[in-house]
Amino acid sequence: MRVILALAVLVLGSTGGEIAITHGMKATGEPAKLRPRALLQFLARAVCNGWFWMGLPLMALSFYSLLILLSWEPISLVIPTSALSYVVGTFGGKYILGEDVSVARWVGVVLVCAGVALVAAG
C-alpha cells in the first residue's frame, strides 16, 4: 500500500507541477531575444508568476517520492510505472490547459498503459 501511495504522489506531484509551471510559463511569455538582459527580464517575469511557485513544490515532492520508491523497489519497476505521468499529463493538457490532443497521442497513452501493466504483472 505504501508503494502505491508513493507512486501516486510521484505521478500526481510531477504532473501537477508540470501543468502548473506550463500554465505559468505560457502566461509569462518567451524571452524577447537570447541576450543576457532579455533572459534576466524573462526570469524576473517567471519568478513573479504564482503558478511557477505552485509547480515547484509539487515537482520537489514528486522527486522525493521517487527517491523513496527507489529505496523500496527495483528501478525496473519504479521507472516504467512512473510513466503513468504521461497518461495523467495528457489528460491534464487536454482538460486543464485546453490543449488539442490528437488521436495518435491517445493511442500512445493506451500503449503506455499497456506497457505499465506488463511491467507491473512481471
Domain ranges of the chain: 2-121
Mean pLDDT (whole number) for 92-101:
94
Q: Answer whether 25's CB lies under 8 Å from 46's CB.
A: yes
CA-closest candidate to residue 6, choices 84, 119, 114, 76: 84
Q: State the pLDDT confidence band at 111, using cuts at 50, 70 and 90.
A: very high
Q: pLDDT at residue 122 above 80?
A: no
Distance CA 99, CA 13 (A): 20
DSSP one-letter code for 25:
H
Mean pLDDT (whole number) for 38-67:
93
What are all long-range contacts of 62-68, with beta carbons under 8 Å and residues at least 24 apart? 62/9, 62/10, 62/11, 62/12, 62/13, 62/14, 62/17, 63/14, 65/6, 65/7, 65/9, 65/10, 65/13, 66/10, 68/6
pLDDT higher at 32 or 104: 104
CA-only gyration radius of the chain, Å? 17
Q: State the pLDDT confidence band at 31, using cuts at 50, 70 and 90.
A: confident
Summarize pLDDT for 71-89 with one digit per residue, the tens.
Answer: 999 998 898 888 889 899 9
